[in-house]
Amino acid sequence: MDDKDLARLFRLALDGDERAYGDFLQQAAELVRAWARRRTTFGGLDPEDIVQETLLAIHVKRHTWRSDGPVMPWLYAVAGHKLIDALRRMGRHSWIEIGELEGQLAAEETETARGWEIDRALEMLSPGQRSVVTAISLEGRTIAEAARSLDMKETAVRVALHRGLAAIAKRFGRD
């Protein structure tokens, strides 16, 4: 079912057509279920929980949909908020079996290639920009920490960081 058909069903539902509302919810559930399955591949989240919470939120917030617009982006936005809520409820730290992540872990070759790309990007910068970008982007220092360790003013660190990242973005086609 495409967005036009789904939006038509939802418009009818909002006008009081119970059958259209049932059909809309059934179609929405299928879409959200497929969406949630792709986003809950590990970590103990059940896609059906996301589906149910999304359908409930759709019912409660149905008045927020603009009937002259597409319904799928609105539907997926609601589902995204419900997924975020579920992740927050799980807490900031959760235990995941390594077997669940086995296929998603980066291979050693990927890490080596990534390191080579980073080195290549840093080589094109001036020594000052390179030290600032390395301190902040790679070592995780704050602006203040980088300024102290590099004996620079915070403003100069911000400028060097901005110019360095802009040069890298321009060089690698991300203007």
Same domain, 86 and 129: no
Q: What pLDDT, on the 0 to 100 scale, is given for residue 132?
A: 93
Same domain, 52 and 121: no
What Cα–Cα distance (Å) separates residue 160 from each residue in 61, 78, 137? 46, 40, 12
pLDDT tens track for 67-82:
888 888 888 889 988 8
Q: What pLDDT, on the 0 to 100 scale, is given for residue 43?
A: 65
Same domain, 23 and 83: yes
Q: What pLDDT, on the 0 to 100 scale, is given for residue 115?
A: 66
Q: Could you give the number of structural domains in the chain?
A: 2
Same domain, 81 and 150: no
Which residue range(s) make up the domain with 55?
Answer: 3-90
Is 97 part of any domain? Answer: no
Q: What is the CATH number of the domain that holds 40?
A: 1.10.1740.10
Angle between helix 3-14 and 72-90 (nearest 10):
80
pTM for the model: 0.52
* DSSP-assigned letter for residue 106: P
Is 96 part of any domain? Answer: no
Same domain, 128 and 59: no
Is 36 part of any domain? Answer: yes
Same domain, 133 and 159: yes
Same domain, 116 and 65: no
- Residue that finishes a domain, picked among 58, 90, 122: 90
Segments of the chain scoring below 70 in pLDDT? 42-43, 91-116, 173-175
Is 43 part of any domain? Answer: yes
Q: What pLDDT, on the 0 to 100 scale, is given for residue 108?
A: 46
- Residue that finishes a domain, picked among 90, 114, 133: 90
User: Any idea of the CA torsion for 142, 146, 148, 150, to the nearest 10 degrees?
Assistant: 180
Is 160 part of any domain? Answer: yes
Same domain, 76 and 151: no
Is 75 part of any domain? Answer: yes
